[in-house]
């Protein structure tokens, strides 16, 4: 695997994000592990999610999962399925939808936990499923 060089505008964007994180004294950790069968990603940040929001996210994921079981997972993104609360788990639903497109259950491959001082997300992608996708 060869190292890719970032364009100047990409480096500027990443530096501006880094500067904002430092200004707010936030800590974000990203770890990626690749082996012959799996790509594993762990993302941790020091912004805990409130219990009420965790429950809203859980409910949103369950609603999306039931639509998937009915063969209508993309309907989740229609206005009638979204609420007006802070993004309604939209980002998580987009990740889940990626797993559905790979014929995988995101509940098995994408988890998140909240601690008292941090939120940690774990995403695992089987290499075989990624290689079989049409891009």
Query: Is there a domain that residue 22 lies in?
Result: no
Q: Cα–Cα distances in Å, from 5 out to 8, 10, 82, 103? A: 9, 10, 39, 33
Q: Report pLDDT digits (tens) over 52-109.
A: 778 888 888 888 899 999 999 888 888 776 665 555 567 888 899 999 989 999 999 9
Question: How many structural domains does the chain have?
Answer: 1
Does 40 score more than 90 pLDDT?
Answer: yes
CA–CA distance, 7 with 62 (Å, rounded to integer): 40
Question: Is the pTM for the entire model greater than 0.85?
Answer: no
**124/84: higher pLDDT:** 124
Range of the domain at 116: 45-135
If pLDDT is split at 50, 70 and 90, which confidence band does 2 have?
A: low
């Amino acid at each position: 695997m060869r190292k890719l060089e970032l364009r100047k505008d990409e480096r500027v964007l990443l530096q501006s994000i880094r500067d904002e994180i430092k200004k707010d004294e936030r800590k974000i950790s990203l770890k990626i592990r690749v082996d012959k069968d799996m790509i594993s990603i762990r993302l941790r940040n020091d912004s805990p999610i409130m219990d009420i929001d965790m429950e809203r996210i859980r409910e949103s994921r369950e609603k999306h999962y039931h639509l998937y079981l009915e063969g209508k997972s993309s309907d989740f993104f229609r206005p009638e399925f979204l609420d007006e609360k802070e993004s309604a788990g939209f980002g998580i639903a987009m990740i889940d939808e990626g797993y559905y497109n790979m014929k995988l259950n995101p509940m098995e491959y994408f988890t998140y936990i909240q601690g008292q001082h941090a939120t940690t997300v774990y995403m695992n992608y089987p290499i075989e499923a990624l290689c079989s996708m049409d891009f």
